[in-house]
Amino acid sequence: MPFSLGTYTAPAGATSASPGQVLQSAVWDAIFSDITTAFNNVLTRTGYDNAETVIASAATVDLSTSNSLRVLVTGTNTITSFGTGANLIHFVRFNGSLTLTYNAVSLILPGAQNIQTFAGDEAIFTSDASGNWRCISWLSNDGMSIVHQPDFRNLLYANGSFDIWQRGAGGTASIAVGASTTAYTADRWYLTTGANQASVVAQATALVSGSLTAGSVQRNNGQTGVTSITFGYPLTSDEITRLRGKPISISFFAQAGANWSPTNGTLSWGFYTGTGSSAKRGGGFTGETTIATGSVNVTAGGSVTAGVGNSGATLVPANASQAEFQFTWTPVGTAGAADTITIDDVQVEGSTNATAYDRVPFQVCLQACLRHYRKTFPYSVAPAQGAGLPGALAAISAAAAAVGVYWSHTADPMRATATYTTYNPSGASANWQDVTAAASLAATVDTANGVSQNGALIYSAAAAAAAHLIYIHAQADAGI
């Protein structure tokens, strides 16, 4: 049909007819064909339209191929383009969680940022004469704005995005966990391994736009243990209290390494509550309630997979006082070089529908994690003996006598009285270092007098003389 930018051009040979003029049949047929096509394509004032066109998500979803104003995009593949169709308008609905990639020219989105869709989200897109697309309206399924300030709805907001790694070397953290061990890794996250399952938990490249980093768990190459591995995030009583009486929804992203070994690539998840004191779940909580469980099959060496689930009719009990979110998986056979699962943007919220990740500033997340763990070392330095003086607690001896420093946490108290470990900044010991005398002085943490959530006194054996500079590093661990 000869339309160009909304202007109709008559078929060749068409003229203004005169009474008694004989019309060429080809011209007559062409005009009526155009009219028929126009009526079939028009959206009438009463709202009739062709049936919603279904297009599978892909890097390019060409909206110009749709004969309907309404388009349903299925699947979870990242979209970077809507094609180059010019001067179009489409109402687009999404049935899955995928990433729309912002482009300042060809795909302009609200907030000038990528958008993570969720099932039921709808939007209106228009294209200009050059085929560049712009979102002019967005309706989130949960009724919330896609560009918003953090509202802390994520129960795991402190480190659901794996941005905080105090126990390691900050932005390059890589933390070894031995076989048959339970140990904290990324802040708030612990790993439990079985026999012959020595592993490494490390900071990894983010899986989604907006995330700073992700967390990866690798069963070391050659390990043969095939019991279930647990990667858990236990919650304090004050954290779970705000979800009492509510349903929950879960969302996260995962990507598997080339040698990811579980049968079908299955990554399972669960959220559990109990009625005891804050604790890791272990074999089960006191008065345990299973709030929600699910799984997702993550293809080895494949693309990023979104995981979404909810608790249905099950509500967090009114007396819940402990809780944990955890991933579990069961490796198969001997581990290859990349028997790895990488996870990002884990969100647990009190709603029936998962929403876009509630991204909280790094410093706010770090401050929340300090309730559970802190160190005197710079953020980028893993706690270790002989790791250097920067950040260390310091004192000047007034005489040849003991010297003490009270490490205060008053501004940001720990969640409970911590366990303290000391490190010599310059040598292989837990002692103070007398820098002036190049000597090591025994260190003691006073756990009998005044130690609390607000800090502890760490003191030394007698210095050799007055005016000596002495230093020591420490960590305070109040992990659940």
Asked whether the predicted pLDDT for residue 41 surpasses 70, the reply is no
pLDDT tens digits for range 111-135: 777 888 888 899 999 999 999 999 9
Residues paired with residue 254 on neighbouring β-strands, in sequence order:
305, 343
Q: Judge contact between 244 and 289, C-beta under 8 A.
A: no
What's residue 400's pLDDT? 86
Domains of the chain (ranges; CATH) run 3-41 (no CATH), 53-139 (2.60.120), 170-369 (2.60.120.260), 375-477 (no CATH)
Judging by beta carbons within 10 Å of its beta carbon (0-12, 13-18, 19+), is residue 252 exposed, middle or buried? Answer: buried
Structure tokens given for 243? 């979800």
- Segment (H or E) for 328: strand 322-329
* Average per-residue pLDDT for the chain: 91
- The span from the CA of 73 to the CA of 92, in Å, is 7
Q: What is the share, in percent, of the chain residues with pLDDT greater than 70?
A: 91
What's residue 148's pLDDT? 53
What's residue 146's pLDDT? 62
Asked whether the predicted pLDDT for residue 228 surpasses 50, the reply is yes
- The span from the CA of 209 to the CA of 232, in Å, is 24
Asked whether the predicted pLDDT for residue 48 surpasses 70, the reply is no
For the segment 140-151, the average pLDDT, to the nearest whole number, is 65
Query: Considering only CA atoms, which of 53, 96, 102, 91 is closest in space to residue 77?
Result: 96
Structure tokens given for 103? 């482009």
What's residue 45's pLDDT? 42
For the segment 445-473, the average pLDDT, to the nearest whole number, is 93
Pick the more confident residue, 22 or 147: 22
What's residue 19's pLDDT? 75
pLDDT tens digits for range 334-385: 999 999 999 999 999 998 878 888 999 999 999 999 999 999 999 999 999 9
What's residue 39's pLDDT? 63
Asked whether the predicted pLDDT for residue 4 surpasses 60, the reply is no
Task: Return the minimum-mean-pLDDT range out of 29-33, 107-111, 293-297.
Answer: 29-33
What's residue 464's pLDDT? 78
Asked whether the predicted pLDDT for residue 322 surpasses 60, the reply is yes
- The span from the CA of 324 to the CA of 81, in Å, is 39
Task: Return the minimum-mean-pLDDT range out of 48-52, 243-247, 262-266.
Answer: 48-52
* Structural Rg of the chain based on CA atoms: 31
Task: Return the minimum-mean-pLDDT range out of 41-55, 119-133, 172-186, 390-404.
Answer: 41-55
Query: Per residue in 325-349, is it b (16+ CB within 10 Å) or e — as a string?
Result: bbbbbebeebbbebbbbbbbbbbbb
Q: Judge contact between 357 and 152, C-beta under 8 A.
A: no
User: β-pairing, 107-108 with 133-139?
Assistant: parallel
Quote the pTM value.
0.74
Q: Judge contact between 5 and 87, C-beta under 8 A.
A: yes
- The span from the CA of 314 to the CA of 267, in Å, is 22
For the segment 38-52, the average pLDDT, to the nearest whole number, is 62
pLDDT tens digits for range 419-442: 999 999 999 999 999 999 999 999
